[in-house]
Structure 1
Amino acid sequence: MIPILTSIQLLLLRSVPGVGPIVACGIISELGDLRRFKNFKQLASYVGLIPSVHQSGGHLRTAGLTPRANRIMRSYLVEATWVALRFDPVMQEYYRSHQGKDVKRILVKVARKLLSRIHAIIRTETPYQIGVIK
């Protein structure tokens, strides 16, 4: 039997464009309760949508995505991002504002934005509304 909290989270996740039943179940099964993360940065770090940082002395260098990540979750979010770009005008605008850069890097930025929205709807327990917030 599915706990009530999880079924509510599944319904909330299904309101996000690009998140279908399989991706919603994958998110819940991989992450559990999203409210266990204190803030969004911890969640993004766990999923692996943050840059890798190399620091020595006074030198700070950032590289691509961190290798310490939940790769299944990252792939779920990237695939959901492709669909969200087709249906959400705010995501399309964000994608177009970075036009001219590497497509994969832009896609990771949009996936991070999508993850922040997923985190917000689970925390506030309100369904996602397309094109409301920039």
Structure 2
Amino acid sequence: CLTSVPGVGKVYAAGIIAEIGQIDRFKDHPQVAKYAGLNWKQNQSGNANSQNTELVKRGNRYLRYYLVEAANSVRRHDSEYQAFYKKKYQEVPKHQHKRAIVLTARKFVRLVDALLRNRQLYTPPRRLMEDK
């Protein structure tokens, strides 16, 4: 079912499925993302939160690799992911690509979780037809 997503080939799909195993062992998609290590350390003092934080180095590094690379490939093929990536890229002045691609991978985790739980093929969202 993951190869039905444009940009996800057999290698990425096999790697993601092999590293996740049974999707039912996770309660929801944030647990899958945390298992992959797609979350950030919190750096705060009082009410001020730091904007410059790094990824947690815990988690399954192979799953993190497959998710980030697959999300990067999907963003080249899907206009929704491309727009999301561009939006996140322009939000910060430093580490733009790394931050944007990891946030895109977090969005991709939601899609992977839904497809594996429901055992369904990917269907792109419907777009309104514009008259020319």
Task: Please indicate the TM-score interval, normalised by the length of the shorter structure.
Answer: 0.7 to 0.9
Q: Helix, strand or coil: the match of 2:89?
A: coil
Q: Aligned residue for 1:80?
A: 70
Q: Aligned residue for 2:23?
A: 34
TM-score w.r.t. length of structure 2: 0.79
Structural mapping, 1:83-122, within 5 Å: 83-100=73-90, 101=92, 102-122=96-116
Q: Aligned residue for 1:15?
A: 4
Q: Verify: 1:48 aligned to 2:42, yes or no.
A: no
- How far 1:97 moved relative to its partner? 1.7
Identity of aligned residues (%): 39
| Count, aligned residues | 121
Which protein has the bigger strand share? Answer: 1
Tell me if the contact between 1:98 and 1:106 (Cα under 8 Å) persists in the aligned partners. Answer: yes
- How far 1:34 moved relative to its partner? 1.3
1:5-34 CA-to-partner distances (Å, cap 9, x unmatched) read: xxxxxxx11112232111111112111011
TM-score w.r.t. length of structure 1: 0.78
Unaligned runs of 5+ in 1: 1-11
Mapped to 1, the partners of 2:7 and 2:59 lie a distance apart of 21
